[in-house]
Amino acid sequence: MFNELIVNYGQFEKRIALLEDSRLVELFAEKKENQILVGNIYVGIVKNVLPGMGAAFIDIGLSRTAFLHFTDINPMSLNKTKKKIFAKRKSSDIGKVLTVGQEIVVQVKKEPILKKGARVTGKLSIPGKFLVFMPGEKKVAISRKISSVTERTRIKKILKKIKDKDVGIIVRTDTESINEEDFNREYIGIERTWKLINKQAKHAKPPACIYDENDLSYSLVRDIFNSSIERMVVDDKKMRNKVISKLKKIAPELISRIELYQEDSPIFNAYGIEKEIGNIFKSRVNLPSGGNITIQQTEALVAIDVNTGSFTGKDNYEDTITKTNMEAAVESALQIRLRDLSGIMVIDFIDMKNEKDRDNVYATLKKSLKMDRAKHQIYPFSPLGLIEISRKRTRPSLLLSYSEQCPHCHGTGRLLSRDSITVQISRWLKRASYFIKKEDITIKVHKNVKKFIEENPDFFDDIQNSIKFVSDSELDFDKFRVFSTKTNKEFTNE
């Protein structure tokens, strides 16, 4: 498989596309007005403490206060008395550990989304390319994807030599065969960053951000560009130079894989990415054989429904179902990564009678999600024939990042039909007949509703008043306003 990164560095939006064999599988976008906050460290102020929830709300300078649970408090930041209280592990004691107005250093672990504020933790961590630095901890944890016992032993031996006693380390996946010098170089660099954060925490006036880890060149080098990427193409010279500068310190062998794009046509158009991005926002995705999957995203969960569509198969119906489900398993995994779906997901595959077929579909889904870098868990078929997936959310999905709630349907995706609205108006006029008798009436409606009424005037045949319908572009689709034509007095709410 040929993996490549295509980087589009624009003035208002920066985008990174991950291609596997020329197909878009992941898209990262950073907008000027919608900065990523996960990993940023703040000096905040405790605004509210709720013992019943075992949580506190922290002002970190955002529009909504951040949520800090009792279990996410860092005991190292507490005095001796409070440490003893915290050690009892009773979340209802949070009021004895934190007080309103107290300053506290926290790190964002989940982005704010919709009406929810950011989720924060007091247990700080600073990620590098190979290591995650955790001040105040002591443990060394190695990625499970490094399965070799010999390699795990070698890494632990190196880290015992270079790390301080009061620092915990998580070893990331892309560290196999990394030598002691590389580990030491990165450890020293992160340690310097931590000392700078400590210094800023003492002098910053809260609420204030004291560490922003989401500079695109930094996250690109740290999280995405690794030994599995064959090529990275960047359309901005300054961006390319920043990436090269960072790679010189930690992975100089990757520098030769970076290319500067200098053609006239936009880079995402040249690689066919722009067209694929347009399909991300469609709820229906077609499968190779003619079937399709439908993706519906809500605040609570994501539902993926599988359909045979136009695919009827050549042999029997069971073979048709199985082939559709296998294709749906592959496509669902890709769409989960591409759209950055998270939380609880439910896939409703077409019912299969054969248990072996169900096992094959489940195995295909697991294999297809193996490349996903986000932490996830896939559960086998339920008695209702559903597969459930939980996937960690760290930022809003692309749908939420690139769209806003419809002001007419308020996120339901449905509107009252034009005839239903017309019937509502007719009922209103009948209810109000005593108060508006002999009045000439002007009714303001949405332009599409006005058009329907003009085509169907019989809805108001039994109304005695003289009625004039006027379109109002500022009205929601399902709203109307009733006025006296002579005096312009409004009757709607009366």
CA–CA separation, 243 and 252 (whole Å): 11
* Residue matched to tokens 């496509």: 331
415-417-423 Cα angle (round to 5): 125
Nearest to 295 by CA among 415, 275, 286, 362: 286
Tokens representing residue 118 in the block: 């950011």
What is the reported pLDDT for 315? 64
Tokens representing residue 117 in the block: 């504020």
pLDDT tens sequence across 334-351: 999 998 888 899 999 999
Nearest to 470 by CA among 191, 488, 462: 488
289-313: burial string, b at 16+ Cβ within 10 Å, e else = bbbbbebebeeeebebbbbbeebeb
Tokens representing residue 261 in the block: 């794009």
| Residues 15 and 8: beta-carbon distance below 8 Å | yes
**How many Cβ atoms from other residues are within 10 Å of residue 26's Cβ?**
21
Tokens representing residue 207 in the block: 């609420």
What is the reported pLDDT for 314? 60
CA 36, 41, 43, 48 dihedral sign is positive
Tokens representing residue 155 in the block: 């890494």
| Residues 265 and 235: beta-carbon distance below 8 Å | no
CA–CA separation, 397 and 235 (whole Å): 25
Query: What is the three-class DSSP state of 304?
Result: strand
| Residues 277 and 268: beta-carbon distance below 8 Å | yes
> Which amino acid would we find at residue 5?
L
134-140-142 Cα angle (round to 5): 110
CA–CA separation, 113 and 123 (whole Å): 22
DSSP single-letter state for residue 314: S
What is the reported pLDDT for 248? 83
412-27-271 Cα angle (round to 5): 120
Query: What is the three-class DSSP state of 27?
Result: strand
Write the DSSP string, 155-203: HHHHHHHHS-TTEEEEE-STTTT--HHHHHHHHHHHHHHHHHHHHHHHH
CA–CA separation, 36 and 136 (whole Å): 26
CA–chain centroid gap for 171, Å, is 25
Domains of the chain are 3-35+214-274 (3.30.420.60), 41-121 (2.40.50.140), 126-209 (3.30.230.10), 281-402 (no CATH), 418-484 (no CATH)
Ranges in the chain, pLDDT < 50: none
132-144: burial string, b at 16+ Cβ within 10 Å, e else = bbbbebeebebbe
Nearest to 107 by CA among 211, 195, 222: 211
pLDDT tens sequence across 426-467: 999 988 888 888 889 999 999 999 999 999 989 998 888 899
Which residue(s) pair with 442 in the sheet?
468, 483
**How many Cβ atoms from other residues are within 10 Å of residue 454's Cβ?**
9
Tokens representing residue 15 in the block: 């985008």
**How many Cβ atoms from other residues are within 10 Å of residue 269's Cβ?**
12
CA–CA separation, 76 and 101 (whole Å): 19
